[in-house]
Structure formats: C-alpha cells, structure tokens
C-alpha cells in the first residue's frame, strides 16, 4: 500500500479540497536538516500550523512506533477518526482534542507533500475549543423503556449545529441534554426535547431571519429580546430543540425564559462558562462547557441522581431558577413570535384570551400572538 493509499483510507474525517495554487510560497521558519530527515519517515502529515509558537506541530495517521520525537522543535499528534468518520481525535502534547468539519489541501512543503488546513483561522478556532471531554456513563437507566428520543436524532442535531456555526456561533449542549451526555453518554431516556445554548454576543441577527426559511427544520417560536431573555425553539422531525442564549458578566451567566400565559420572566443562573470543550454524543461531536460538573451542580444539585422527567417541572424544579419580573403589555408584541408550522395538523380553532389567542391542535393548547385577525383553515 502506498502512502497516498493510506491517506485516502484515513482522510475520511478530514474533507479534502482542491488546491488552486499548490506552489504558493508559505513564509515560515525552516526545519533543520536532521528534523527534515525525521519527518520523511511519515506516510501522512497534517501540519497544525502555528498551534504552538516556534514549534513544528503535525498530526499523523501513522502508527505510534514513530512517536519518539528526537527533536525538541517538532511535536507530533496521533490522529484517529471516530468510528463513523464524523470527527478526528488528536492525541498528544496537550492531551486529547477533537474537531469535525476539517478541510485540508495538499501542498509541497519541507521538501515533501503535506496536508494543510484550507483556512488557518478556522482551524485555530476549532482547535482552541477542541479539548475533548469524556462522558462518565453512569448506569442509571437500566431496565427502562426505549428512549423517547432515538439515538439517530444526533444527526438532526448536527444539522442544526452546522446551521448555527455557519453564522460563526459556537452552540453547545445545555441543560437536560448536557446532563444526559455527561451522566449517561446518551439522551435521558424519558426526556422529550433537546437543549442547546450559545453566547448572545455571538448572535448574528441574520441567523434569526434565515431560521424561518430553512428547509431542514421548522422554526417554532422566538421569545424575548436580543438584550433580554432571547430564546428560540425549532422542530426537526417531531422533536423540539430549544436554543438558549447565554448572557454573561464576570461573576455569573444566565439564560432566560418565560411563562407565556402570565408574561412572567424567568432566569436560570450559572457559574461563568470561561471555556468551551468538545464531547462525543452517540458518535457525533458537539461542544460542551469545559466546567460541565460545575454547571450541572448549579442547575440540578446532585446531578448523579436521576429524577423522572414527569416529576421535573421546568419552571420551578431547577436549583438555579429565579423570577425576573413581567413583560409589559407594550413589550409583549415584540417578545413573543409564534410560528404555527409545528407539524402536519388538519383542522384547528382559535379562541381569544387576553391579547393573544389559545390555539387548540389535536388536544394540545398553544398560545399564539396575532396582530390582525384569528387564524382559520388548515396548517401544514
């Protein structure tokens, strides 16, 4: 098997791009002669350029027998693809890191062909937030029925994750989904929705506009304001994903929510999330808070002890929840936007209540703000 064969077999988790100018010059310090000779023994090298100042850092799919590095200026990471090819793990100098969606080109550098990230800035962004955390897999769901959310739903989550990252956001697992990942390496068996979060400072307003037009998921609602308690929910398939926005100061962080029928504001307070890491949820790589246990303790107390979802009330069971006043009537039209396309339904009716309507859909009561007239007809 040739070196190129090895590369093509292993490179599946790194997307290969065409190189428009493979002879382009790269300004760099050049390795010493002995260092170049050492690098020749590798069939595959992925240059992790400028990850560590004044060091030549590489990843490789080659076996570990070559990892005794006799040169202090060279650092080698072992690269291992995840079982389904979704992401790459880098094992070495600074522990374990992981990244997905890598794009690489092949260039002639250091007297040989080397793979290089297409975008150095994008790779550095992934690397900085790529420290890999293992879930602890407590065996607490044994004997329960099949989970409400199937394992395959991580594919739907990854689509939504990629949508958010297109707008330079860094979504991470949150609340019950974070708990399920860390405690059980899975979804909590009886949970019915998915929780994710992102920093409000990363919000691109265009992203919210494009959510409504997506063909891959359906926008359910937008609650709150950009400067206060923003929350978005979408449906992918028949399962809801709640996206919370993290508001931060130097001492704490919080996300907002509301009891719609009362216009009551709620806030959940957390320790500061200073760094973002990565974790594997059922074969897919997602970002998670690096201080995951601290976050879970703030929200659930003794998070190792499971509580049936049916007994857990979202607006009062969390340890970190606080009431934060009420939205005024003047604010209400700007803080509650409900999208009716939740799933295929046939007939429904609307009845007036306060300044919004109650919507009866297959024995499920929804609250819908309208500005001109009641809804009538069929929703698809």
Going by pLDDT thresholds of 50, 70 and 90, the confidence category of residue 348 is very low
Question: Which of 14-28, 75-89, 199-213 is predicted with the least confidence, judged by mean pLDDT?
Answer: 14-28
76: which 2 tokens? 């080698």
Of 104, 128, 152, the residue that ends a domain is 128
Confidence (pLDDT) at 63: 78
Domain shared by 105 and 215, yes or no: no
Over the Cα atoms of the chain, what is R_g?
24
Confidence (pLDDT) at 334: 75
Domain shared by 273 and 361, yes or no: no
Going by pLDDT thresholds of 50, 70 and 90, the confidence category of residue 319 is very high
Domain shared by 155 and 262, yes or no: yes
Domain shared by 52 and 155, yes or no: no
Domains held by the chain: number? 3
CA 327/CA 314 separation, integer angstroms: 19
Going by pLDDT thresholds of 50, 70 and 90, the confidence category of residue 268 is very high
Partnered with residue 378 across adjacent β-strands are 347
Q: What is the CATH number of the domain that holds 157?
A: 3.30.460
pLDDT in tens, 114-132: 999 999 999 999 999 999 9
More confident residue, 56 or 308: 56
CA 197/CA 214 separation, integer angstroms: 19
Q: What average pLDDT score do residues 204-213 get?
A: 90
CA 43/CA 27 separation, integer angstroms: 24
Partnered with residue 365 across adjacent β-strands are 360
pTM: predicted TM-score of the whole model, two decimal places: 0.81
Domain shared by 210 and 346, yes or no: no
In percent, how much of the chain has pLDDT > 70?
77
Going by pLDDT thresholds of 50, 70 and 90, the confidence category of residue 9 is very low
* Separation in Å, CA 358 to CA 344, 348, 366: 18, 11, 6
Domain shared by 67 and 185, yes or no: no
DSSP state of 217: S
Confidence (pLDDT) at 355: 36
Residue 342 has pLDDT above 90, yes or no: no
Domain shared by 218 and 78, yes or no: no
3-state per-residue secondary structure call for 287-338: EEECCHHHHHHHHHCCCCCCCCHHHCCCCCCCCCEEEEEECCHHHHHHHEEE
CA 160/CA 169 separation, integer angstroms: 11
CA 24/CA 275 separation, integer angstroms: 35
Confidence (pLDDT) at 13: 60
Domain shared by 311 and 177, yes or no: yes
Domain shared by 179 and 47, yes or no: no
Confidence (pLDDT) at 66: 62
Mean pLDDT of all residues belonging to the chain: 80
Of 128, 157, 191, the residue that ends a domain is 128
pLDDT in tens, 37-86: 888 888 889 999 888 888 889 999 987 666 677 778 888 999 999 988 89
Of 105, 128, 151, the residue that ends a domain is 128
Domain residues for the domain of 178 are 135-339
CA 202/CA 52 separation, integer angstroms: 26
CA 185/CA 307 separation, integer angstroms: 17
Domain shared by 145 and 203, yes or no: yes
Residue 191 has pLDDT above 70, yes or no: yes
What's the gap between Cα 308 and its chain centre? 25
Q: Name the pairing type of β-strands 239-248 and 95-100.
A: unpaired
Domain shared by 331 and 346, yes or no: no
Domain shared by 21 and 153, yes or no: no
């Amino acid at each position: 098997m040739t070196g190129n064969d090895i590369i093509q077999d292993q490179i599946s988790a790194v997307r290969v791009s065409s190189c428009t100018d493979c002879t382009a010059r790269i300004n760099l310090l050049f390795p010493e002669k002995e260092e170049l000779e050492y690098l020749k023994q590798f069939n595959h090298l992925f240059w992790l350029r400028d990850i560590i100042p004044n060091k030549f850092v590489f990843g490789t799919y080659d076996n570990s027998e070559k990892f005794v590095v006799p040169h202090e200026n060279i650092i080698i990471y072992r690269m291992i693809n995840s079982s389904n090819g979704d992401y790459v793990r880098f094992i070495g100098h600074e522990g374990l890191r992981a990244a997905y969606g890598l794009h690489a080109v092949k260039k002639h550098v250091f007297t040989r062909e080397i793979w290089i990230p297409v975008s150095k800035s994008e790779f550095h962004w992934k690397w900085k937030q790529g420290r890999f955390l293992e879930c602890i897999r407590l065996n607490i769901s044994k004997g329960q029925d099949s989970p409400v959310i199937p394992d395959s739903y991580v594919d739907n989550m990854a689509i939504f994750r990629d949508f958010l990252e297109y707008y330079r956001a860094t979504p991470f697992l949150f609340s019950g989904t974070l708990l399920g990942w860390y405690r059980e390496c899975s979804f909590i068996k009886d949970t019915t929705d998915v929780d994710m979060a992102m920093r409000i400072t990363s919000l691109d307003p265009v992203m919210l506009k494009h959510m409504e037009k997506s063909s891959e998921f359906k926008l359910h609602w937008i609650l709150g304001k950009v400067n206060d308690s923003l929350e978005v929910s979408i449906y992918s398939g028949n399962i809801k994903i709640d996206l919370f926005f993290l508001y931060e100061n130097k001492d704490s962080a919080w996300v907002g929510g509301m009891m719609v029928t009362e216009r009551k504001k709620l806030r959940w307070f957390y320790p500061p999330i200073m760094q973002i890491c990565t974790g594997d949820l059922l074969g897919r790589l997602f970002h998670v808070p690096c201080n995951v246990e601290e976050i879970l303790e703030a929200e659930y107390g003794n998070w190792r002890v499971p509580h049936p979802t049916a007994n857990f009330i979202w607006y009062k069971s969390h340890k970190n929840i606080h009431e934060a006043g009420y939205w005024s009537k003047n604010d209400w039209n700007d803080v509650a936007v409900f999208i009716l396309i939740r799933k295929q339904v046939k007939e429904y009716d609307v009845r007036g209540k306060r300044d919004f309507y109650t919507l009866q859909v297959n024995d499920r009561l929804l609250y819908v703000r309208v500005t001109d007239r009641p809804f009538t007809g069929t929703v698809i």
